[in-house]
Chains A and B, each alone.
Chain A
Amino acid sequence: MKTAKVCSVTILCVLAATPLYASAEPGWQNRRQNPRYLLLQSMTTAKRYPISAVVIQRLAHVNDAEVEMKMEQDVFGRTRFTVWQPAHLSGLVSLDDGIYWYTYMPKHKRVIKQESPRIAQGNPAYQIYLANENYTWRREKGPDIASCPTVVVVASPKAKELPTRRYYLDSRTCLMLQVERVSSDGTKKVSYETRSLAYLKESPKLPVPGENDPEIQTRVVPTPERVGSPASASERVGFMPIVPETLPFGFIVRSIEIVGPPKDMLIAIRITDGLVTETVYQWKDSTSKRRGPFGSKAGTVAFKGIRMRLVGELPSGPAERILKSFVSRK
């Protein structure tokens, strides 16, 4: 009798819970399938998996130079890269522990220490929100990369001149495995790819390079200094930076920063559309007797005594249009 009672109560409970489970399941699945959610995960939780990988990075700011590296990441999100190729960079170590960013250069027996760039990183959720204003999203099943099943988050720009961006994520962990840019004429550039990957059971130890070696010098490099407004920047650098009220392609000004050595300071205006960050450097034209901070005036424009240059990964057409918005300001 007692057993029958227990059975009936159990059946009733199961029957009551089934619709709840059924109604909850699609919501959960939708979230997991939302490309923006996946991309957000890749920027947050995926940064805590202990991994060891071999990756290739093509550096947009150095003519797409290809660099092959061992990458290690621990549960605290600390990342360490050890360069294998090209030969002249072999042995270079970059460690970002979230507080400091260390770069060990074996040739010079020197460690460059700078505040971690992650401290300047914006809110990932806001970044995705901004990107959502400028891109449409699609989710595709991707090929296996480094033996991992992938999901591809495709971000197509609303401005057709900008490249489409394809992020290949490990479909189980959202770890970013490959990043591609596809320009409007169909040209594809792989800026980051993973050749092999191992998720580790134990978090790897990531020592600071050269920490206990007395022969290695450590040099501290100042961090770009954020300023609140063009006016406060002008007090420091001796000219009023040009900051347009609006920028094309949905870009916004992320920050105004002072960079460079104390005697030759520049203004760096970081602009972003959510997925791309570009920098417009500005300096006093009169100080460019020595061909300026970039060694050449090529690719620069001058306006009201200020010379400027846009640096980043945008194709030349959109880059020129953005730069024009700085000089056409009334």
Chain B
Amino acid sequence: MNCRNVQRKLSAYIDGELTGAEMMAIRSHLSRCPECAREERSIRAFKRLLGAMPCVEPPSGLEERLLGAIRREHKQSASWWPQIKWASVAACAAGLAMFAILTFVKRPGGEAVAADTAEFTVFDATRDQAYVAGSDPLSFGPLALPTGDENR
């Protein structure tokens, strides 16, 4: 499986929606390819961020207002120009949204991998164990707290 195929299926891979063979193939590819592994971490981080966003209650009467606006729009759309206008606005908005998402998605993984490893010269088991604790809320309790003198 090449990088292009893997990156196309990364979202489904993270959501566990692929077949076992595909999951294995992607997992194996990720272990070899730092670029795709970075992409996977970015998407995972982004999904987590999206999942953490609260549900926003729509204001009362929104549905009525929306339907009313659509009805009015429908009546006025005898000419083709407004349709093109709305399509271009929607396309611009979608483009901007995609740009914002891609910019955001690139950030976390990129920075994490670009850690200043030159300065990182000592293995800190305490920090690593705190990291494990933070990834498993039932193992040590719900807290990750390093106490080592961090990477002198």
Contacts and interface: CB of A to CB of B under 8 A. Distances in A.
A65 interface: yes
Given A99-B48, A220-B114, A232-B31, A118 B135 contact: yes
A227 B37 CA distance: 10
Contact of B32 (A108, A121, A232, A294): A232
B99 interface: no
B136 to A, nearest CB: 4
Interface residues of B, number: 54
B134 A57 contact: no
A277 B139 contact: yes
Contact of B129 (A42, A76, A118, A279): A279
Contact of B145 (A57, A110, A114, A119): A57
A61 B141 contact: no
A67 B122 CA distance: 25
A232 B41 contact: no
Contacts of B143: 55, 57, 69, 71, 79, 81, 94, 192
A229 B25 CA distance: 12
B106 to A, nearest CB: 13
B44 interface: yes
A167 to B, nearest CB: 8
Contacts of B48: 98-99, 118-119
A61 B126 contact: yes
Interface in B91-145: 108, 111-117, 119-123, 125-145
Contact of B117 (A121, A222, A268): A222
B52 interface: yes
A227 B72 CA distance: 57
A261 B117 contact: yes
Given A94-B144, A219-B119, A261-B117, A232 B28 contact: yes
B134 A224 contact: no
A311 interface: yes
A99 B145 contact: no
A264 B123 contact: yes
Given A99-B45, A222-B117, A224-B131, A108 B150 contact: yes
B54 interface: yes
A49 interface: no
A320 interface: no
Contacts of A99: 45, 48-49, 108
Contacts, number: 191
B60 interface: no
In the A-B complex, the 9 residue pairs with the smallest Cβ-Cβ separation, listed nearest first, are A117-B134, A192-B141, A228-B31, A61-B129, A260-B123, A232-B31, A222-B115, A117-B135, A220-B115
Interface of A: 39, 42-43, 55, 57, 59-62, 65, 67, 69, 71, 75-77, 79, 81, 83, 89, 92, 94, 96, 98-101, 103, 105, 108, 110, 112, 114-123, 127, 131, 165, 167, 176, 179, 191-192, 219-229, 232-233, 259-264, 266, 268, 270, 272, 274-277, 279, 281, 293-294, 311-313
Most chain B CB inside 10 Å of its own CB: which residue of A61, A89, A262, A263 = A61
Given A119-B41, A222-B120, A261-B123, A100 B131 contact: no
Nearest to A294: B125
Most chain A CB inside 10 Å of its own CB: which residue of B48, B108, B134, B139 = B139
A314 B98 CA distance: 47
B146 interface: yes
A131 to B, nearest CB: 8
B54 A229 contact: no
A43 to B, nearest CB: 5
